[in-house]
Amino acid sequence: MINGVEYFSLNELNDKRGNFTKLYSSNWQSATSIKLEESFLTTSIKGTTRGMHIQIGLSANYKIVSVIKGVIFDVLVDLRKNSETYRNINQVELTAGNTFIVPPGVAHGFQSFEESKILYLSDKSHQPISDQGFNVKSLPIKWPLDFTIQSDRDIALPTLDDFIRNVSID
């Protein structure tokens, strides 16, 4: 487990009208100091792999990530050199109704088992110049699906070792 990462199963209330789900609470232990600035919603078709992404420098951010629809294989990597869990990898299958908090200095990526919608809440505004990452294929893990759909940007990202050699994250 990576220090500062917290996973939550959301309580969904269902009745004849549909459902109601709380996606965020400032009462969650790690969320007490998070002041949200932006949100993003991403849809990924089956087989899509995204990541590994991280905001660095002054744009390093807390992210609250919620699986709104679908099933994903989610991966986090601790890149904080001063962390007890430096270079640790969390890999977990998540379904709709799962939320987790990602602290600054932890890279995130995932692979969709089916069409998926992911909601990101961030405590900092996205800065394209600070948007960095490394190639998912350089991780020492077995991804469940073949890499069939990736962005050109993600394919061109450096390896994890090259990223760590060239970028300082404290």
Whether residue 77 has pLDDT greater than 90: yes
Q: How far apart are CA 58 and CA 85, in angstroms?
A: 22
Please say if 120 is a catalytic residue. Answer: yes
- Please tell us whether the domain made up of 6-163 is placed in CATH 2.60.40.10: no
- What residues have CB less than 8 Å from 93, skipping those under 6 apart? 71, 72, 73, 74, 113
Domain ranges across the chain: 6-163
Residue tagged active-site, from 24, 62, 86, 120: 120
For residue range 14-63, list pLDDT tens digits in order: 889 988 887 777 777 666 678 889 999 999 999 999 999 999 999 999 99
* 53 carries an active-site annotation: yes
